[in-house]
């Protein structure tokens, strides 16, 4: 069961989405810090497990934008495989060292496609959402908990949830290219569906 404190915070954050539909990094940091604090009452690794689950849920959500990209079949194939392997790795049934090798392969593939100059942006963002999610599983990164806005940080440090929001909206809010409705819809889904699902560690990730 989700703690009452977390439920109230999630409800409150739904009203904090800005005019661009963005859930700011400051509010995301507050959310992740709350999840970590509440999880610490259960088990030492509970926070890590929920961070990893949430990142994988966001990455899985973004895979639909790879489905529609006929030019990025290889990125889609590797992304789907690595997300599946990450979920199994959290259960101790896939070697982390092998997962790291696969993630490096995905990152190099995405960068090669970027260098070619014709990668579809939503496919790029979806692939990077998968890469970032796997990094959370591998290294227990706390990028999700950083209050620093993504515009001020390296794209290599952006969390899976932010990349997934880019895949949904097509651009970052500071680019002023629209996508407010899709961005707002993503972050509302994140607060209403993704976080509660990540919290329930007994709920299998599909």
Q: Which residue, chain included where needed, has tokens 């993504």?
A: 150
Average pLDDT of every residue of the chain: 92
- Report pLDDT for 36: 93
- pLDDT greater than 60 at residue 166: yes
- Other CB atoms within 10 A of residue 25 CB: 22
The 10s digit of each residue's pLDDT in 32-58 is 999 999 999 898 899 999 999 999 999
- Report pLDDT for 68: 62
Indicate whether this model's pTM tops 0.75: yes
- Report pLDDT for 205: 81
- Report pLDDT for 127: 95
């Amino acid at each position: 069961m989700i703690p009452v404190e977390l439920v109230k915070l999630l409800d409150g954050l739904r009203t904090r989405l800005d005019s661009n539909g963005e859930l700011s990094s400051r509010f995301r940091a507050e959310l992740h810090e709350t999840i970590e604090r509440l999880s610490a009452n259960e088990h030492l690794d509970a926070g890590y497990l929920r961070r990893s689950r949430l990142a994988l849920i966001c990455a899985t959500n973004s895979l639909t934008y790879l489905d529609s990209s006929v030019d990025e079949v290889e990125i889609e194939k590797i992304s789907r495989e690595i997300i599946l392997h990450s979920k199994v790795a959290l259960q101790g049934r896939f070697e982390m060292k092998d997962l790291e090798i696969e993630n490096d392969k995905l990152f190099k593939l995405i960068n090669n496609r970027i260098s070619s100059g014709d990668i579809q942006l939503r496919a790029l963002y979806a692939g990077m959402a998968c890469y970032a999610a796997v990094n959370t599983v591998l290294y227990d990164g706390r990028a999700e908990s950083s209050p620093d806005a993504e515009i001020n940080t390296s794209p290599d440090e952006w969390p899976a949830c932010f990349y997934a929001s880019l895949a949904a909206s097509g651009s970052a809010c500071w680019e002023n290219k629209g996508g407010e409705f899709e961005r707002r819809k993503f972050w509302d889904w994140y607060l209403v569906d993704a976080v509660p699902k990540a919290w329930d560690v007994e709920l299998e990730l599909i």
